[in-house]
């Protein structure tokens, strides 16, 4: 299939439709409203539904309803709207329902700003909802990945019966790049025999529920879910590396920041600093083993984020604090230039005595 030039937000919407998503529930907020706009145009043409809900909370609960019926459903928002959805997300988890939730992050806290941010990392990876839970968190770094990881998100959600977060940012959402929608091969999916579909009395009815009055029953369902989480951690970690083989300093970055680091690494290399980059594609599960292995050869890590430093703690945990883990970031919607990151790498190289 020929490549098309598209905004990241539009690529998410088209990829969702390609993945068979028939229900999109949204509420407009910058910088992701193009998803709603695109869905409103396209969904009626493919026999699906795009509905602008009365609020983000309504939208996430509509996703819960649609998913209960066994259909693919999605919602999207940006940081403040994402917070509103958190109760519904926990209910989705507690009900073992697949769903795709897109967060095209903007600056926070509060209404914050409308420019790109990655400050919802903790929220997405640690505590998007109450209770013992994890979510699979995917972090696209190109418009192509906005498309392919959206398809992957739907598959993962169905395979593991869990909501999946696509954690993007305003820059990737707004930028255009060529994208090829035929690039991904869909995965083999389990039957949705749990769905509350009409069946003409042919089987016992299914119940979708997240309430357990008996603690032992609840403990058992949570433990069963954690068996799935262990499987996800073992089988679904995704990451990418760039020039890490001989790297003394390894940048760790995702989304738009990974691209800035990619250029910064090239700039640092031109100055004789052996820099490299590892880019987590799954933020949960985090590429702990890959980072720990890099700690055998690297002398230090640099976590680069559009926040005050969140993923940096996971990098420290991943390498068991065997190496110094430094941080560089801008927040509030400010994007650093590659030269800023390269300067930080130079300073680190001097501190580590790596410069001749």
Partner 1 sequence: MAKTTNILIAGFGGQGVLFAGKALAKMAMHNGLHVTWLPSYGPEMRGGAANCSVIISDDEIGSPLVPEPDILIALNIPSFDKFEPHVKSGGMIFVDSAMVDKKSARADVEAHYIPASRLASEEGLAGLANVIVLGHLLRVTGLFDYDAFLADLVSGIPASRSALVEGNTKALRIGFEY
Only segment of 36-44, 68-76, 197-205, 336-344 that touches partner 1 (CB under 8 A): 336-344
Count of beta carbons in the 10 Å neighbourhood of residue 295: 20
Taking CB under 8 A as the criterion, the residue among 109, 111, 131, 176 binding partner 1 is 176
Residue 31 contacts partner 1 per CB under 8 A:
yes
- Shortest spacing between CB 7 and partner 1, in angstroms: 9
Cβ at position 335, least distance to partner 1 in Å: 7
Decide: is 80 part of the binding site for partner 1 (CB under 8 A). Answer: no
Burial tier of 302 (Cβ tally within 10 Å: 0-12, 13-18, 19+): buried
DSSP category for residue 152: H
Q: Is 337 near partner 1 (CB under 8 A)?
A: yes
3 state SS of 204: coil
Contacts of 294 (CB under 8 A, 6+ apart): 244, 247, 250, 276, 278, 301, 319
Select 149 or 264, whichever has its Cβ closest to partner 1. 264
Q: Is the dihedral of CA 318, 320, 323, 329 positive or negative?
A: positive
The gap from C-alpha 78 to its chain's centroid, in whole angstroms, comes to 13
How many C-beta atoms lie closer than 10 Å to residue 329's C-beta? 22
| Cβ-based nearer residue to partner 1, 95 or 141 | 141
Residue 330 interacts with partner 1 (CB under 8 A)?
no
131 touches partner 1 by CB under 8 A: no
> Quick one: 169 or 248, whose CB is closer to partner 1?
169
Query: Of 40, 53, 127, 175, which one interacts with partner 1 (CB under 8 A)?
Result: 175
Q: Can you say how many angstroms the Cα of residue 48 is from the centroid of all Cα atoms in its chain?
A: 24
Report the 3 state secondary structure along 224-286: HHHHHHHHHHHHCCCEEEECCCCCCEEEECCHHHHHHHHHHHHHHHHCCCCEEEEEECEEECC
**Closer to partner 1 at the Cβ: 58 or 104?**
104
| 338 binds partner 1, rule: CB under 8 A | yes
Per-residue x/- marks for partner 1, 97-116, CB under 8 A? -----------------xx-
The yes or no reply on residue 171 touching partner 1 (CB under 8 A) is yes
| 85 near partner 1, rule: CB under 8 A | no
Helix (H) or strand (E) holding 167: strand 163-169
Q: Establish if 30 lies at the interface with partner 1 (CB under 8 A).
A: yes
DSSP 302-337: EEEESSSSSHHHHHHHHTTT-S-EEEEE--TT----
What contacts 65, CB < 8 A, 6 or more positions away? none
Chosen residue from 163, 170, 255, 287 binding partner 1 by CB under 8 A:
170
CB of 127 to partner 1, least distance (A): 29
Query: Using CB under 8 A, which residues numbered 238 to 277 contact partner 1?
Result: 256, 259-264, 266
Say what angle helices 338-351 and 255-270 make with each other, to 10 degrees.
60
Q: Among residues 79, 141, 149, 134, which one has the least CA distance to residue 111?
A: 79
Beta carbon nearer to partner 1, 172 or 349: 172
**Which of 259/316 has CB closer to partner 1?**
259
* Under rule CB under 8 A, residue 334 binds partner 1: no
Least spacing, CB of residue 172 vs partner 1, in Å: 9
Of 171 and 294, the one with the shorter C-beta distance to partner 1 is 171
Task: Check residue 5 for interaction with partner 1 (CB under 8 A).
Answer: yes
Stretch of 123-131, 230-238, 283-291, 330-338 lying at the interface with partner 1 (CB under 8 A): 330-338
Q: How many residues sit in the footprint of partner 1 (CB under 8 A)?
A: 25
- 264: region left, alpha or beta (phi > 0 left; psi from -120 to 50 alpha): alpha
Q: Which residues bind partner 1 (CB under 8 A)?
A: 3, 5, 30-31, 114-115, 170-171, 174-178, 256, 259-264, 266, 335, 337-339
């Amino acid at each position: 299939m020929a490549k098309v030039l598209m905004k990241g937000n539009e690529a998410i919407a088209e990829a969702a439709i390609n993945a068979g998503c028939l229900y999109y529930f949204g509420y407009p907020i910058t910088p992701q409203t193009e998803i709603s706009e695109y869905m409103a145009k396209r969904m009626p043409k493919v026999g699906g539904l795009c509905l602008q809900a009365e609020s983000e909370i309504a939208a996430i609960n509509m996703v819960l309803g649609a998913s209960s019926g066994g259909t693919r459903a999605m919602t999207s928002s940006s940081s403040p709207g994402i917070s509103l959805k958190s109760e519904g997300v926990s209910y989705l988890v507690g009900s073992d329902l697949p769903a795709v939730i897109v967060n095209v992050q903007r600056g926070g806290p509060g209404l914050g700003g409308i420019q790109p941010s990655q400050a919802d990392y903790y929220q997405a990876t640690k505590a998007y909802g109450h209770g013992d839970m994890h979510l699979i968190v995917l972090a696209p770094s190109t418009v192509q990945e906005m498309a392919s990881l959206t398809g992957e998100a739907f598959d993962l959600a169905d395979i593991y019966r869990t909501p999946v977060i696509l954690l993007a940012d305003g820059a990737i959402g707004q930028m255009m790049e060529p994208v090829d929608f035929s690039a991904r091969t869909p995965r083999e999916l389990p039957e949705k025999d749990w769905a509350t579909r009409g069946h003409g009395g042919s089987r016992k009815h299914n119940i979708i529920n997240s309430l357990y009055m008996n603690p032992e029953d609840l403990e058992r369902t949570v433990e069963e879910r954690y068996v799935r989480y262990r499987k996800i951690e073992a089988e679904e970690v995704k990451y990418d590396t760039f020039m890490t083989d001989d790297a003394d300093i390894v940048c760790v970055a995702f989304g738009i920041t990974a691209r800035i680091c990619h250029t910064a690494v090239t700039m640092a290399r031109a100055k004789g600093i052996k820099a490299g980059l590892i880019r987590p594609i799954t933020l949960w599960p985090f590429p702990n083993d890959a980072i720990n292995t890099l700690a055998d050869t690297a002398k230090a890590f640099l976590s680069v984020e559009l926040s005050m430093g969140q993923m940096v703690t996971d990098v420290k945990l991943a390498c068991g604090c065997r190496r110094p883990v430094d941080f560089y970031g801008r927040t509030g919607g400010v994007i650093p230039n590659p030269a800023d990151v390269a300067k930080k790498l130079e300073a680190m190289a001097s501190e580590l005595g790596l410069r001749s």
